[in-house]
């Protein structure tokens, strides 16, 4: 993945049953092209073996300040080479060390000596988490600029239920990768549409499409990672809201159009990812239309073209369109881009993209075509945002 290539993190593991999740976290980070150096406390080695982490990371696992044979300064060498230090799990004891500047082992020493961001993922019993001393320590870490990831609530290894569970490996990997993104869009306001729309026929039936909303939500997440202020106007989906985005939930194309009109004046970039229904029923029935055995004729009227409206404003934002085609991708996409006078349009074949977790995109702009090879939709979204940054920079 282009945005995280050559990034390095130190993954610090402290003593706790959640240490087993660190193995999966290391695997997920390495899968995304991030170099992982593991450092463990002595207590951590009782919960998961250094051999396991060494096999996953491909690097010797360090647990002592004297493990660095070169000059005996592992705490300096590790922290200087890292883009971030991540402590997962971070025990109550280790959090207390960090909050008070104690440095009595390799991991606590390198955290004190670091010149890169520090992220901690707390993991402990709910009563330990709720204790005033722990809450004071967490508040101090945040005041010191440390990023605290979690914890979560749920069933714990001790059998109790409550706050203190470490976030799952996938959640942590997502947050860590997001923290490594350059904040190219800091101060930029982005308005996004995503998902399908639903056009009612009667009280129980309607016209919609198979769009899952995954691509639009991925673009929103990628924009947030780059520091943008995001407003997401979404049709009906089953997806979790991107954390940090201002959400506007709509159902029909008309509702989506009204929401866009309300928010577009404040945005710098508009990205129309939603699969907006082209037509709606002219006369909707308030009650269920009963089956009669005869043919049912519906009159369909066109919905407003939201993207065309935004692009035609007297002072439009930087507009990006999406096109899902079933054939003749290049011809139809470029025709749509030029007709709506868009600086950028992203296109894909609908039968390969709708509902799937990965995608292949072709970007069309004044310079020609740019293929984004098939990959997961968040990776595609990040590449798209980087292309937008480049194009917008040229226009500024």
pLDDT at 323 over 70: yes
Report helix, strand or coil for 85.
Answer: strand
| 334-343 tens-digit pLDDT | 889 999 999 9
For helices 92-100 and 106-113, what crossing angle results, to 10°?
40
User: What residues contact 101, with CB distance under 8 A and at least 6 apart?
Assistant: 112
| 228-248 tens-digit pLDDT | 999 999 999 999 998 889 999
> Helix, strand, coil proportions of the chain in percent (round to 5)?
35, 25, 40
pLDDT at 154: 78
CA gap 380, 223 in Å, rounded: 12
CA gap 10, 84 in Å, rounded: 7
**Beta-bridge partner residues of 147:** 119
| 18-68 tens-digit pLDDT | 999 999 999 999 988 899 999 999 999 999 999 999 999 999 999 887 665
pLDDT at 160: 75
319, two tokens: 């507009």
The DSSP call for residue 19 is G
- Binned at pLDDT 50, 70 and 90, residue 4 comes out as very low
- Please report, in angstroms and rounded to a whole number, the separation of the first and last CA atoms in the chain: 27
CA gap 141, 127 in Å, rounded: 19
- Binned at pLDDT 50, 70 and 90, residue 396 comes out as low
CA gap 171, 175 in Å, rounded: 6
pLDDT at 329: 78
322, two tokens: 């999406």
CA gap 324, 216 in Å, rounded: 13
Mean pLDDT of 101-116: 91
Mean pLDDT of 280-306: 92
Q: Is 158 a catalytic residue?
A: yes
pLDDT at 208: 94
pLDDT at 322 over 90: yes
Average pLDDT, the chain: 89
Report helix, strand or coil for 286.
Answer: coil
CA distance readout (Å), 168 to 19, 78, 143, 353: 11, 25, 25, 28
pLDDT at 394 over 80: no
Percent of the chain with pLDDT over 70: 92
Q: Is the dihedral of CA 225, 144, 64, 69 positive or negative?
A: positive
Q: φ, ψ for residue 98 (rounded to 5)?
A: -60, -45
| Residue in 95, 103, 157 with CA at minimum distance from that of residue 129 | 95
Q: φ, ψ for residue 227 (rounded to 5)?
A: 95, 5
The H or E element containing residue 122 is: strand 118-122
- Binned at pLDDT 50, 70 and 90, residue 102 comes out as very high
pTM, two decimals, is: 0.78
Which of these is catalytic: 111, 116, 158, 319? 158
pLDDT at 262 over 80: yes
CB atoms within 10 A of CB 396: 6
| 127-178 tens-digit pLDDT | 999 999 999 999 999 999 999 998 988 777 767 777 889 999 998 998 898 8
Q: Which residue has the tokens 């937008």?
A: 388
Task: List, in order of start, the domains of the chain with CATH numbers.
Answer: 2-179 (3.40.50.1950), 189-395 (3.40.50.10300)
């Amino acid at each position: 993945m282009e945005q995280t290539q050559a990034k390095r993190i130190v993954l610090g593991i402290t003593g706790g049953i959640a240490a087993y999740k660190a193995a999966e976290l290391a695997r997920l980070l390495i899968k995304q092209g991030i170099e992982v150096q593991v450092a463990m406390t002595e207590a951590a080695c009782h919960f998961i073996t250094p051999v396991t982490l060494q096999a996953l990371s491909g690097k010797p696992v360090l647990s002592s300040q004297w493990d660095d044979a070169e000059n005996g300064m592992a705490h300096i060498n590790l922290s200087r080479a890292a883009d971030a230090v991540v402590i997962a799990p971070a025990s109550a004891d280790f959090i207390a060390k960090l909050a008070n500047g104690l440095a009595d082992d390799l991991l606590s020493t390198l955290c004190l000596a670091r010149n890169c961001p520090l992220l901690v993922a707390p993991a402990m019993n709910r009563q330990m988490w709720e204790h005033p001393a722990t809450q004071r320590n967490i508040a101090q870490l945040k005041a010191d600029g440390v990023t605290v990831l979690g914890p979560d609530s749920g069933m714990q290894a001790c059998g109790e239920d409550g706050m203190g569970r470490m976030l799952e490996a996938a959640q942590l990997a997502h947050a860590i990768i997001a923290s490594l993104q350059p904040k190219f869009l800091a101060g930029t306001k982005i308005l996004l549409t995503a998902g399908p729309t639903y056009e009612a026929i009667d009280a129980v039936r309607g016209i919609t499409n198979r769009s899952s909303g995954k691509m639009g939500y991925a673009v929103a997440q990628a924009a947030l990672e780059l520091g943008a202020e995001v407003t997401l106007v979404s049709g009906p989906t089953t997806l979790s809201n991107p954390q940090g985005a201002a959400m506007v939930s709509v159902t029909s194309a008309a509702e989506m159009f009204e929401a866009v009109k309300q928010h577009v004046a404040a945005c710098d970039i508009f990205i129309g990812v939603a699969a907006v229904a082209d037509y709606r029923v002219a006369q909707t029935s308030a009650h269920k239309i009963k089956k009669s055995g005869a043919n049912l004729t519906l009159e369909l009227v066109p919905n407003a073209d939201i993207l065309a409206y935004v692009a035609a404003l007297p002072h439009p934002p930087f507009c990006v369109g999406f096109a899902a085609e079933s054939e003749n991708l290049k011809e139809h996409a470029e025709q749509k881009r030029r007709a709506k006078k868009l600086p950028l349009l992203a296109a894909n074949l609908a039968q390969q993209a709708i509902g799937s977790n990965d995608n292949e995109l072709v970007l069309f702009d004044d310079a020609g075509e740019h293929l984004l090879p098939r990959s997961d939709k968040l990776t595609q979204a990040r590449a798209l945002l980087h292309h937008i940054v480049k194009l917008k920079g040229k226009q500024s």
